[in-house]
Structure 1
């Protein structure tokens, strides 16, 4: 498959899917968290595919790799914030485990894409 747009990238597609899942989970958080953990978690989740898109749109491999690094940082943020949500009992263990597994896979995909781009640079 030829890549014409960031929207063609599986890693971007998964990032968007996971951001939507995070929004579903945070809807169950207490309303008092709307500007706290729930907002932080949503922003970090949205940051992952957003940075993939921005990096791809920049047009340079160096920039794309840089923005993939930012996405990886956001993956770590989401994972941390999910674990905090679990610890304070806003989200159940099963949900966190499922999301963490998906975010680990997303991180692996991001690192593989980075390596591929670095090898061609």
Structure 2
């Protein structure tokens, strides 16, 4: 079993989660069950799936959960772009979070690539 807390991708995902929760408080009240709910679920999914993947005994299962995490990451990025385009939050704040997301996506993809090579 791997210690998920030692993975940079998990640590970065937790920082992104905090940032997104802070950003979500700026959204209009009408978005409580819309975009706010969506971004909070997507951002929680990223570190949660990394942690769950770390509990799996096989590299294949671990990779599967990393793929789910990166899918949630792309979902979150898309939702933040929409929030920016709708003018629901400060553009600069959103751009900073998106930069962190893209960096984390690259790190997750790199780990997925290493796991693929190890299994071939």
Q: Secondary structure at the match of 1:35?
A: coil
**Distance between the aligned counterparts of 2:25 and 2:42, measured in 1?**
15
Q: Determine which structure has greater relative contact order: mean sequence separation of CA pairs < 8 Å that are 6+ residues apart, divided by chain length.
A: 2
TM-score (norm 2): 0.94
Q: Is the 8 A contact 2:2 2:55 kept in 1?
A: no
Aligned residues: 119
CA-based RMSD: 1.2
Q: Counterparts in 2 of 1:1-121, with a 5 A limit? A: 4-121=2-119
How far did 1:4 drift?
Answer: 4.6
Secondary structure in 2 matching 1:29: coil
Structure 1 residue runs of 4 or more that deviate by more than 2 Å after TM superposition: none
> 1-side partners of 2:21 and 2:64: how far apart?
26
Query: Structure 1 residue 78: deviation in Å?
Result: 0.7
User: Which structure 1 segments of 5+ residues have no match?
Assistant: none
Q: CA deviation at 1:113?
A: 0.7
